A and B are shown apart, each in its own frame.
Chain A
Amino acid sequence: MSRLRDFLIGDPTATRIVPPSGFTAVLTIASAAAMAFLAVFAIALHLATGELAARWEAELAGTATVRIPASENAEADAAAVLTALSQTPGIVEARRLTDEEQLVLLAPWFGDGVPLDRLRLPVLIEVLETDAGPDVTGLSERISAEAPGAVYDNHSRWRVPLANAASRLRQLGAVSLLLIAGVTAVTIALAASSALAANGQVIDVLRIVGARDGWIAAAFTRRFTMRAFAGALGGTIIGMIAVALVPGGVETGVLSGLGFDGLQWLWPLLVPFVAAGLAFGATWVAAARRLKEDG
């Protein structure tokens, strides 16, 4: 713990050994900022798609609809299907939608006051499945036998691809995070390495006055860790503001999940610390190698 404190505070001269500005400083700060910005979005994507997949699963799982085509026999068919459903294991409840409910469903397309009696509408039966659900193949066969043209639809046709898409996006979010971390580490290692190369004179001077390689490496590492932290903090804040400004709400549908809720805001705040950790490791390794080489 005291070593960590020593590292963070350091000796003022040791911290100032590394030239305060220059190309490598700009490179480190700017790339840490850009990567942090991207990381915030990747985290948002990862969280949002996870929720989206869960929500779609939850809303649609366990429900099904039987559609009986409009015909003269539709009423009789509906009664036969309801009976069949009541005898099938795996079904909790089956209920024919009332005319009012069908009106509500149609309102977005036809407006209010649709003359139902003059439209030839299919009969809809809403089905609630148990967790295990029915044997869908057997049930489908039985329903089409009772009512020709009737279809048992448990939404899997569009639920499965949506869930797949959501989980693929989630994976992409995670892969992006890994790539961002890798690129950040490599960029900072290169910046640190070229800073060491550009400061050959400083290093020679330090050696003459008796600095150990470890001391020199620590001075560079501290400087680069601080720079990466500062850059990443800036990038994270801008990224969080940008995510907060993404238009939300139910109307935007798929995008409504992109954002952070409550405690989720803590996740992006980890980004600057992770960036600092990566910078620490990358600079330390780069410095140790470089100093050993030109010994």
Chain B
Amino acid sequence: MIELDKVAMSYGGRTLFQDVSLSISPGSFHFLTGPSGAGKTTLLKLCSLELGAQSGHLKLLGQDVQGIDRDQIARMRRRIGVVHQDSRFVDHLSVAENVMLPVAVSGRSTDVSGDLGELLGWVGLADAAERTPPELSGGERQRVALARAIILSPEIVLADEPTGNVDWDMSLRLLDLLIELNRLGKTILCATHDLNLIRHAKSRVSARVLRIKDGAVALAGAGL
């Protein structure tokens, strides 16, 4: 589903990864952890095609992304839901319209308004549908971003600290959402610092933990 083969990545001469190879199979649940500045966000952005690797190969959804054109990238992104660490929105549109953006841009005319209400309820934002993003707290924004990421039922969900700004109860609720998506067969890759969250998840699904440190990515052992 996501395959990295000897990927190297650097910012302005400063090398972040040298030789990262990684294979994430369909329907799996992975956490991505590591110290701040290790490159978790960077790795997720490589997978959402927001950044391009300096060298190596990346395969997404069974397709080599080397040299694919912009329209193909757009189509691929509809199959990948992304929650950024600092999610951005169209600030003059309502929360409901922002969540529906992937539907609007995909040109699907199917009625998903029922799903929308259910989804907003699930992320605890049923009452916020008509507010605009600038009126929301950090945690509320994260939840809107998660709802937007999954409205099209994507095959892959990439989540960057989705529980970064919410309390423990809400974290568990968002985790439930990710676990539920995983049960529906979606591939989940979630970056987090929160070891408690990872532990909790491991008690419920067979999640694996990728640890990123010093330019290398390794599968962590049972003890994290």
Contact = CB atoms under 8 A, between A and B. Distances in A.
Interface stretch (B32-40, B97-105, B210-218): B97-105
A294 to B, nearest CB: 11
Contact of A205 (B71, B74, B78, B88): B88
Interface string A7-27: 000010110110110000000
A214 B69 CA distance: 13
Contacts of B71: 212-214
Nearest to B89: A205
Contacts of B82: 208
B104 A205 contact: no
A210 B93 contact: no
Interface string A200-240: 01101111111111110000000000000000000000000
Interface residues of B, number: 27
Nearest to A211: B105
Given A205-B88, A205-B101, A209-B105, A16 B93 contact: yes
A203 to B, nearest CB: 10
Contacts of B77: 207-210
A104 to B, nearest CB: 74
The interface centre, meaning the residue of B50, B100, B101 with most chain A CB atoms within 10 A of its CB, is B101
B104 A210 contact: no
B75 interface: yes
Interface in B144-175: 148, 152
A161 interface: no
B180 to A, nearest CB: 21
B106 interface: yes
8 contacts: A13-B100, A13-B104, A17-B93, A201-B88, A205-B90, A208-B77, A208-B84, A210-B75
B74 A211 contact: yes
A209 B97 contact: no
B95 to A, nearest CB: 13
B70 A202 contact: no
- A-side interface mostly: helix
A244 B16 CA distance: 72
A210 B106 contact: yes
Contacts of A138: none
A11 B83 CA distance: 25
Contacts of B89: 205
A157 to B, nearest CB: 68
A249 interface: no
B74 A14 contact: no
By Cβ-Cβ distance, the 9 closest A-B pairs, closest first, are A210-B78, A211-B105, A210-B77, A13-B104, A209-B102, A212-B74, A209-B101, A210-B74, A202-B90
A115 interface: no
B100 A208 contact: no
Given A208-B77, A210-B75, A210-B77, A295 B70 contact: yes
Interface in B90-124: 90-93, 97, 100-102, 104-107
Given A13-B93, A205-B88, A208-B77, A215 B105 contact: yes
B192 interface: no
Interface of A: 11, 13-14, 16-17, 19-20, 201-202, 204-215, 295
B70 A204 contact: no
Given A201-B88, A295-B70, A208 B97 contact: no
B88 A206 contact: no
Interface string B59-71: 0000000000011
A184 B27 CA distance: 55
B48 interface: yes
B70 A206 contact: no
A212 B70 contact: yes
Contacts of A19: 92
Contact of A208 (B50, B92, B104): B50
Contacts of A214: 71
A210 B72 CA distance: 9
Contacts of A211: 74, 105
A175 B119 CA distance: 59
B75 A20 contact: no
Contact of A204 (B88, B92, B100, B106): B88
Given A16-B93, A16-B97, A295-B70, A210 B88 contact: no
B16 to A, nearest CB: 21
Contacts of B93: 13, 16-17
A165 to B, nearest CB: 54
Nearest to B77: A210
B70 A17 contact: no
Contacts of B106: 210
Given A19-B92, A212-B74, 17 more contacts: A11-B107, A13-B101, A16-B93, A205-B89, A205-B101, A208-B48, A208-B50, A208-B82, A208-B84, A209-B78, A209-B102, A210-B74, A210-B77, A210-B152, A212-B71, A212-B75, A215-B107
